A and B are shown apart, each in its own frame.
Chain A
């Protein structure tokens, strides 16, 4: 569904992405992990066309995304830090996006109800806490029933109850056969969600494996431990 080939991106002298190749199919739930500043968000923004890569190609359903925009109808994006116009209310933001999308599909308002945002419809965005802003971002990402969901640190800032609601929703959407990207630092949260892992380091894809395979190779049953073992092994190899 999404094919990324030989992507390079530099911000000034800093090489953020170098020679990234990825291929993702329907029904996969992929965790994008790696240390801070390894290029996860840049990669996601390149898929969305917010960051334009220097070299390489990105294809969505077989068509290139460069200079295209309609493919974004099929993507729901939840940013790491949602930034919204300060003096608009929650209700106005949601109304505005609905108008802009002008979509005829049925809207998915599950999260809107689960987070009880309707009670706060006339609160201005600047008065909201970080967690509530995250909830608005999540609602907008799921609202139009997109085929692909890109969630950049979805549970950061959410209270345990809200993050549980969001996790359940993600699992539900996964079972519908959607492609889901999640970046997160909380590996323990990912255990029952994901089917594949992409580990990035210094702008490169370090490995891209199925979770089951990774667990079998390392003999661990927790993702966090499995990854720690892979990294340790890699370090040992470098030292010798």
Chain B
């Protein structure tokens, strides 16, 4: 397996897009720490940037890369290699590349400017979000043979989690504002990895006080160590479940 991961990783790192992505993350992170006078504000700016760009780049780049490596996959399939191994190697290769880009671009400024629990938390959440969207890319690229359709699905997925989901949640909040839905809202956040990540960071920044009663409920749940554990577990499930569905499909695919 290591041999194939190495080949894939080297191939991805040669790609200039990953380099550009790293640079953009670095510029964004360094400048947001430089612009704000305290690191908490800087982190808040970075949070918004990261929750927007990291998912987009991870899912789009991975989907396109998977479609472009269809020849490579075909070539490997006629060799004595397990199907699982090919798909897993691609996943590890892409994940490693995306996490590495995130770590170099955003992780280093985070650790230098905010070397505390929040900075570390941000780093872990960012890496997990990268993994989640790489896994979603695997799912969207296995759904259809058509490259344009696959990339379309990837963009729609990102749009849904980055924008639409929040809109739907807001709509529900207003519609049912007469009912005690605060506890239900905690459950709803589990349906979006981006929201899970956002709430996790916000609660650690003590700005949750501004979120009113719902914020207090969130703090009650996510603020505890069990809540922390559960939300990380949920993020991990967001990686594992999409990937395993795609792996099952790949094992049964005709090439």
Contact = CB atoms under 8 A, between A and B. Distances in A.
B53 interface: no
A152 B76 CA distance: 17
Contacts of A86: 68, 71
Given A96-B7, A100-B4, A102-B3, A83 B71 contact: yes
A77 B79 CA distance: 9
B83 interface: yes
Contacts of A49: 77, 83
B3 to A, nearest CB: 6
Interface in A57-92: 69-73, 75, 77, 79, 83-86
A230 to B, nearest CB: 32
A97 B76 CA distance: 8
Contacts of B7: 96, 99-100
A49 B253 CA distance: 10
Contacts of B70: 83
Given A51-B255, A100-B4, A102-B3, A73 B74 contact: no
Nearest to A9: B254
Contacts of A13: none
Contacts of B74: 50, 79, 83
A69 B78 contact: no
B80 interface: yes
A75 B78 CA distance: 8
B78 A85 contact: no
Instruction: Among A72, A85, A86, find the residue whose CB has the most chain B CB atoms closer than 10 A.
Output: A85
B77 A50 contact: yes
A99 B8 CA distance: 13
A99 B11 CA distance: 15
A86 B170 CA distance: 46
A188 to B, nearest CB: 29
Contacts of A185: none
B78 A48 contact: yes
A210 interface: no
A100 B254 contact: no
Contacts of A77: 78
A52 interface: yes
Interface in B74-113: 74-83
A48 B71 contact: no
A235 interface: no
B69 interface: yes
B169 to A, nearest CB: 39
B6 to A, nearest CB: 9
Given A100-B4, A102-B3, A85 B71 contact: yes
A84 B69 CA distance: 9
Interface in B220-255: 252, 254-255
Contacts of B79: 72, 97, 100-101
Contacts of B72: 84-85
A108 to B, nearest CB: 16
A215 interface: no
B81 A100 contact: yes
Interface string A34-61: 0000000000010011111000000000
B255 A79 contact: no
A85 B65 CA distance: 11
A48 B78 CA distance: 6
A71 B75 contact: no
A156 to B, nearest CB: 18
B80 A52 contact: no
B80 A73 contact: yes
A104 to B, nearest CB: 14
Nearest to A100: B79
Nearest to B81: A69
A97 B82 CA distance: 15
Nearest to A76: B78
Across chains A and B, which 5 residue pairs bring their CB atoms closest together, nearest first? A83-B71, A72-B80, A73-B80, A51-B254, A77-B78
Interface of A: 11, 45, 48-52, 69-73, 75, 77, 79, 83-86, 93, 96-97, 99-102
Given A85-B75, A101-B79, 10 more contacts: A11-B254, A48-B78, A52-B252, A72-B80, A77-B78, A79-B74, A79-B78, A83-B70, A84-B71, A84-B72
7 contacts: A49-B77, A50-B254, A79-B78, A85-B72, A86-B68, A93-B75, A101-B80
